[in-house]
Amino acid sequence: MFLCLSGATVIDSLDTLYLMELKEEFQEAKAWVEESFHLNVSGEASLFEVNIRYIGGLLSAFYLTGEEVFRIKAIRLGEKLLPAFNTPTGIPKGVVSFKSGSWGWATAGSSSILAEFGSLHLEFLHLTELSGNQVFAEKVRNIRKVLRKIEKPFGLYPNFLSPVSGNWVQHHVSVGGLGDSFYEYLIKSWLMSGKTDMEAKNMYYEALEAIETYLLNVSPGGLTYIAEWRGGILDHKMGHLACFSGGMIALGAEDAKEEKRAHYRELAAQITKTCHESYARSDTKLGPEAFWFNSGREAVATQLSESYYILRPEVVESYMYLWRQTHDPIYREWGWEVVLVSLGEILSDRSRFLRDPGCVQ
């Protein structure tokens, strides 16, 4: 993902260290950014990952502390990413090439991914605000312009778009991987703007209506889930990544049309309950990478290739949003269950390691 850039965990953790009052560790991380985070590198990196982890981390650290080093580094890194937008449509390629000081987009891959080019707006608007350079805002506003103009099947946003032709490459729609944070950035752009970004608001509620109409299902056992769509055919599964949507829908409920607010709050609760079931029905009580609703089985992984957990936060994120909105203690209880299970796994691994250091890779 980063290849040529180092320190992703350091920078991505700056705001967490600060908020947790880990002052010594924060100062150590800040010193690393000042002295060791260099941009004169060669290689390639993911535009999306660099934006959300590096630029997002630096911006958060700057707003929390006011330390100039974070602002300056964020702007300089943002400037390095601008050539990724030099495509016929202005839709950026997913991989940025940093070679001998000549920065541009790599040729690998023929399409750009919705969740990647659609998840730049928040950070890039702040880069304009902090630098005075309008180019950052112009780049992401153009992405919106392209997406508003292009014809969308049934109002749905497919996951792959050609940055050359501006056409969808295939009609695969997912609120999970490949699509997820595009929708999240719409509602958060509306909120971040002080509720003035009407374009973001309208795009969000229009997209949510299409998702409800064409992707939302209720299983025979009463579990509400968001399926994936492939050219009109549904895959009756949810990825763990899609479980952020419970929290997102709860977040957006307040500004929906009055007659829809209670409905969206209930929908958010039902989706979050389904994602909790994916944890409760697993052997470890940690949710799988994807879970299905077919052949009489519900909210469980049916393939070995999806039966793993890699510390994804989406389910717990939705617990947090629902707790903040409803103050129903069940969401704190579910969150605490994840803590206890995860701690148990860590202690179990440590015990096995102490018995046999060779068993932990």
Is 34 marked active-site?
A: no
- Alpha carbons 215 and 236: distance in angstroms, whole number: 9
Query: How would you class 217 by CB atoms within 10 Å of its CB: exposed for 0-12, middle for 13-18, buried for 19 or more?
Result: middle
- Alpha carbons 154 and 63: distance in angstroms, whole number: 40
**Strand 112-113's sheet: what is its strand order?**
112-113, 160-161, 168-170
Is 298 marked active-site?
A: no
Is 283 marked active-site?
A: no
- The residue from 15, 123, 180, 228 that is catalytic is 180
Phi, psi of 267, rounded to the nearest 5 degrees: -60, -45
- The residue from 15, 44, 277, 289 that is catalytic is 289
- Alpha carbons 190 and 257: distance in angstroms, whole number: 15
For residue 296, give both structure tokens.
């009489």
- Give which of 84, 58, 55, 52 is closest to 70, Cα–Cα: 58
CB-based contacts of 326-332 (< 8 A; 24+ apart in sequence): 326/265, 326/269, 331/272
- The residue from 12, 49, 206, 306 that is catalytic is 49
- The residue from 116, 123, 184, 314 that is catalytic is 314
Is 123 marked active-site?
A: no
Cβ atoms within 10 Å, residue 337: 17
Identity of residue 266? E
- Alpha carbons 296 and 264: distance in angstroms, whole number: 28
Give the catalytic positions in this structure: 49, 180, 289, 314
